Structure 1
Amino acid sequence: MYRGFKKMPHVQYIYTESSESLCGVKLEVNKYQYLITGRVYEGKVYTGLCNLIEKWDKLTLPQRKGLNHRYHQGCSCKIKPCYYLPCFITSKSECLWTDLLSNFGTPGYQSKNYVCVKQKEGYCSWSRGWTPQDRSVINTTDP
């Protein structure tokens, strides 16, 4: 499954650096399915250690459903990372991401179970992965 057909209608290769010391990634091709994020530059798709790369079966159910059904609802929202307290949002289009406070930069409970989406009132907030959007809105400073 591939997203981004408008920008790249055909992808034959995904490029990365040759070693991890140069931020390259090693994938076990034809053994696992992966979620791979990256960028398109001069007609080629690139990925590396700074991009999100995860085995599909290691994603939580809310993450998989979010990728297929919910994350696009947050395209106009910005996720603002919180590295240390105090943290604040500065506009109604931001969701405060607090996983970095307790997980040392690794995805934590918030990123595994919530999605930042625009609400009916026009502001962005965290919503539990697959439950109907209006029922599970949480405060932007929660998890």
Structure 2
Amino acid sequence: MQSVYQHLISLLLVFSSLQVPQLTEGCSCALGHPQDAFCNSDIVIRAKVVGKKLLRDGPFGTMRYTIKQMKMYKGFEKVQHVQHIYTDASESLCGVKFEINKYQYLITGRVYEDKVYTGLCNFNERWERLSLAQKKGFNHRYQLGCNCRIKPCHYLPCFVTSKNECLWTDMLSHFGYPGYQSRHYACIQQKEGYCSWYRGMTTRDKTVINATDP
């Protein structure tokens, strides 16, 4: 019996040692509302990826994607027209993989030395997967709330602490991201500097709610 027990312990130790790299390696990003992605990015565009090339720089190289820009929502003062998007070639270092000649993407990124860089911690999504409210948000609505602060609520109780905050509760009611507020609401600055969640998809569905809802 003792030898069987020792054998089981040794197997558990081997298994644990095999799992360690998976726990310590990889890209880890904090959840973010798409409005924050818009406000914190240098560049926000809609584009189709038409080519790619691996550049041999860095430990794993850099992937340069050639794009066909459809529309620019933010970044006119940084780059007039984006032709290439750069990202790390390794997903473990937060590199993004785009499919070629298939989809239009909403791409957000930063500009360094006139080059646009993006990664898994940026907001990058197929255009067709965005909700109508998200499309309107990137088009014009999110910019109205860049002076607001979206405050994540991970555990109850949680409260807003200033008039410019909107309480983001997707992590509570929708078991993570993306949730209802992410897909359908923008945090917009109202009169007297107060910020509140706003949903205005159609003329019959225009609601302004206080900073603690939904």
TM-score, length basis structure 1:
0.89
The aligned counterpart of 1:20 is 91
Amino acid aligned to 1:15: Y
Distance 2:182 2:188 in 1: 13
Q: 1:94 aligns with which of 154, 165, 170?
A: 165
Q: Is the 8 A contact 1:35 1:53 kept in 2?
A: yes
Q: CA RMSD of the aligned region, Å?
A: 1.7
Are residues 21 and 102 of structure 1, via their aligned partners in 2, closer, same or farther at CA, if it must alter by over 3 Å? Answer: farther
Q: What is the CA distance between 1:130 and its match in structure 2? A: 2.9
Q: Show the counterpart of 1:41.
A: 112
State which of 26, 41, 62 in structure 1 corresponds to 2:133. 62
Cα separation, partners in 2 of 1:92 and 1:7, compared to 1, 3 Å: same
Alpha-carbon deviation of 1:142? 1.4
Instruction: Report the alpha carbon displacement of residue 96 of structure 1 after superposing the two structures with TM.
Output: 1.2
Partners of 2:150 and 2:97 in 1: how far apart? 28
Write the distance in 1 (CA, Å) between the matches of 2:202 and 2:195: 16
* Structure 1 stretch displaced more, 19-28 or 38-47: 38-47
Higher strand share: 2
Distance 1:46 1:104, change over 3 A: farther
**Paired residue secondary structure (1:38):** strand
Deviation at 1:104, TM superposition (A): 4.5
Q: What is the total number of aligned residue pairs between the two structures?
A: 141
Map 1:1-143 → 2, pairs under 5 A: 1-2=71-72, 3-131=74-202, 136-143=207-214
Question: Secondary structure in 1 aligned to 2:182?
Answer: helix
Shift in alpha-carbon separation, 1:49–1:105, aligned structure 2, 3 A: farther
**Normalising by structure 2, what TM-score?**
0.61
Secondary structure of the structure 1 residue equivalent to 2:150 = strand
The residue type paired with residue 35 of structure 1 is L
In structure 2, stretches of 5+ residues that fail to align are: 1-70
Give the structure with the larger helix fraction: 2
Distance in 2 of aligned mates of 1:124 and 1:131: 21
Residues 10-31 of structure 1: CA distance to partner in whole angstroms, max 9, x if unpaired? 3221111102111111111321
Which structure would you say has the larger Rg?
A: 2
Structure 1: gaps spanning 5 or more residues:
none
Percent identity over the alignment is 70
